[in-house]
Amino acid sequence: MSGQVLDELHWRGLIANSTDEQALRRDLDAGAITFYCGFDPTAPSLHFGNLVQLVTMRRLQQAGHRPIAVIGGATGLVGDPSGKSVERSLQDAEVVKAWVERIRAQIQHLLAFEGVNPARIVNNLEWTNELPTLSFLRDVGKHFSVARMLEKESVAARLSDEGISFTEFSYQILQAMDYLELHRRYGARLQTGGSDQWGNLTAGVDLIRRVEHASVHALATPLITRTDGTKYGKSEVDAVFLDPEMTSPFAFYQYFLNQADADAVPLLKTFSFRSREEIDALERAVAERPESREAQRALAEELTAMVHGADAAAGAVAASEAVFGTGDLAALDERALADAVADLPRTPFDGDVPALLNLLVATGLAQSRGDARRTIAEGGAYLNNRRVSDPAYVPQAGDLLHGRWLVLRRGRRNVAVAERHQ
């Protein structure tokens, strides 16, 4: 139950802001404290960015402190203006309710719910749904200065851009009220969150000081970016979700396996529970043997196991090795193979299987039939991980994996798939 966990968070680059770090360290050293982090149901699933908060909670829990995960059944109905240049589209209450339950299931296996400091999951709709408007305005709203609310970065940015509705303007009051309620119910004394939430975090600290005359803490993690300064994607197109139906375990594994050498070690520090010595060894491997991608493999396997379980991680590893030439494609079940080839370049066909030359051109692995013929003659063409040396080869129906797919490869890493229409 030591404040040394703050040293660990610093080493891992996970502290961007703290209200009073020395006071927080003293409180952590004095014994177990209760802390919380909120997760709004703005989609059917949490994403890779939310995992930063979940692993931070897990580190604090492993240091002996008690976590509360708040799922925003109420705040999710309102919308957080942080990081948004336009107003969010409000979701139907039943949709948000369903998303709350899906997110609850994702959180449940990332924290420990037994032992001396078990985690707790709550929904902030519990204390807001029946709250009378006049009571909210008199008992909570009176403690907020509009001038100070306008200074918050998330609000100020919107005022200079598209404007902000009263609905989203009130978000910081609701989040602050969450902290007050959790402080009263469970003795929460620390709120964690991303640095883009700093204004909302400090609003809660201020509210508790005004209402309860108590001193509590806020701690923000930095926005996770690549070493070149670009953000990891959260858009609908490139988001990496924790729900296996939205991002398959194979795609999740491949996302981290494909990270640049320069980003692998920072990501390990952020997400991995390996020791400093182990991460230092992987950092040396990146410098000395970059082609082995040891750090990326360690990162991808550990995070996939953390989010999807050990069996899913093992399946993702097997599928990755099979697709890229070192494993047995025929050993993959149909779902695993479907996930593995989902994002590969592909060409569909009906009826008889086309000649290998034509398939290489159709999938983009060769620029022309002549290029395809040279690739085959030089030993660089593979069908289902089997090298093909005959330029006239025509795959047979028996070559189709699960009666549907042919996996084509040129060289080591250029892979595509031909798929028979079902």
Give the C-alpha separation, 284 to 270, whole Å.
Answer: 18
| CA distances from residue 150 to 142, 168, 194 in whole angstroms, order as listed | 15, 12, 20
Cβ contacts of residue 140 below 8 Å, gap of 6+? 173, 176, 177, 180, 207
Give the C-alpha separation, 384 to 218, whole Å.
Answer: 54
Which residue shows structure tokens 């969150």? 193
Of these ranges, 207-216, 229-238, 329-338, the one predicted with the greatest mean pLDDT is: 207-216
Task: Specify whether the CB–CB gap between 195 and 83 falls below 8 A.
Answer: no
- Over residues 262-285, mean pLDDT: 97
Give the C-alpha separation, 193 to 54, whole Å.
Answer: 10
- Over residues 267-277, mean pLDDT: 97
What are the tens digits of pLDDT across the range 33-88? 999 999 999 999 999 999 999 999 999 999 999 999 999 999 998 887 776 667 77
Closest CA to 415 of 376, 381, 374, 390: 381
> Mean pLDDT, the chain, as a whole number?
91
* 251 burial via Cβ count (<10 Å: 0-12, 13-18, 19+): middle
Judge whether residue 403 has pLDDT over 60: yes
Task: Specify whether the CB–CB gap between 418 and 362 falls below 8 A.
Answer: yes
What are the tens digits of pLDDT across the range 101-132? 999 999 999 999 999 999 999 999 999 998 88
3-state secondary structure (DSSP) of residue 246: coil
Judge whether residue 387 has pLDDT over 50: yes
Stated length of the chain: 422
Say what the pLDDT of residue 236 is: 46
Run of H or E residues at 53: helix 48-62
| CA distances from residue 332 to 337, 339, 376 in whole angstroms, order as listed | 6, 10, 26
Domains by residue range for the chain, with CATH: 4-221 (3.40.50.620), 248-342 (1.10.240.10), 344-422 (3.10.290.10)
Give the C-alpha separation, 178 to 75, whole Å.
Answer: 10
Instruction: Quote the percentage of the chain above a pLDDT of 70.
Output: 97
Task: Specify whether the CB–CB gap between 356 and 389 falls below 8 A.
Answer: no
Closest CA to 208 of 17, 412, 38, 19: 19
- Over residues 279-295, mean pLDDT: 95
Judge whether residue 237 has pLDDT over 60: no
Instruction: Quote the percentage of the chain above a pLDDT of 90.
Output: 74
- Over residues 8-33, mean pLDDT: 96
> CA torsion 156→160→161→166, rounded to 10°?
50
Higher pLDDT, 238 or 360: 360
| CA distances from residue 294 to 225, 289, 325 in whole angstroms, order as listed | 21, 8, 18
Give the C-alpha separation, 292 to 103, whole Å.
Answer: 36
- Over residues 159-185, mean pLDDT: 88
pTM above 0.75, yes or no: yes
**In the 8-state DSSP scheme, what is residue 249?**
H
Task: Specify whether the CB–CB gap between 38 and 76 falls below 8 A.
Answer: no
Q: How confident is the model at residue 285 (pLDDT cuts 50, 70, 90)?
A: very high
Run of H or E residues at 337: helix 334-341
Which residue shows structure tokens 């369903």? 98
